[in-house]
Chain A
Amino acid sequence: AQTVTQSQPEMSVQEAETVTLSCTYDTSESDYYLFWYKQPPSRQMILVIRQEAYKQQNATENRFSVNFQKAAKSFSLKISDSQLGDAAMYFCAYRSAKSSGDKLTFGTGTRLAVRP
Chain B
Amino acid sequence: GAVVSQHPSRVICKSGTSVKIECRSLDFQATTMFWYRQFPKQSLMLMATSNEGSKATYEQGVEKDKFLINHASLTLSTLTVASAHPEDSSFYICCAMGSTAITTDTQYFGPGTRLTVL
| A binding-site residues for B, Cβ under 8 Å | 42-47, 91, 102-109
Question: Quick one: which of B46, B91, B107 contacts A43, CB cutoff 8 A?
Answer: B91
Q: Top 3 closest A-B pairs, CB basis?
A: A45-B109, A106-B43, A43-B112
B114 to chain A, nearest CB (A): 8
Main secondary structure on chain B at its contact with chain A?
A: strand
Give 8 A-B contacts (CB < 8 Å), ordered by A residue.
A43-B38, A43-B93, A46-B109, A47-B106, A91-B43, A102-B34, A104-B34, A108-B43
Task: Count A-B contacts at CB 8 Å.
Answer: 39
Kindly state the separation between the CA atoms of A93 and B65 in the bound complex, as whole angstroms: 28
What residues of chain A lie closer than 8 Å to B42, measured between beta carbons? 108-109
Q: For the side of the interface on B, what is the size category?
A: 10 to 19
Q: Check A103–B34 contact: CB distance below 8 A.
A: yes
| A46 contacts across to B, CB distance below 8 A | 109
B8 within 8 Å of A (CB atoms): no
- Is B97 within 8 A of A45, CB to CB? no
Residues on B with C-beta less than 8 A from A91 are 43-44
Docked Cα-Cα span, A46 to B93, in Å, equals: 12
Q: Are B107 and A104 in contact (CB under 8 A)?
A: yes
Known: A102-B97, A107-B43. A42 touches B49 (CB 8 A): no
CB neighbours of A104 from chain B (8 A): 34, 44, 46, 95, 107
- CB-CB under 8 A from B107, the residues of chain A are 102, 104
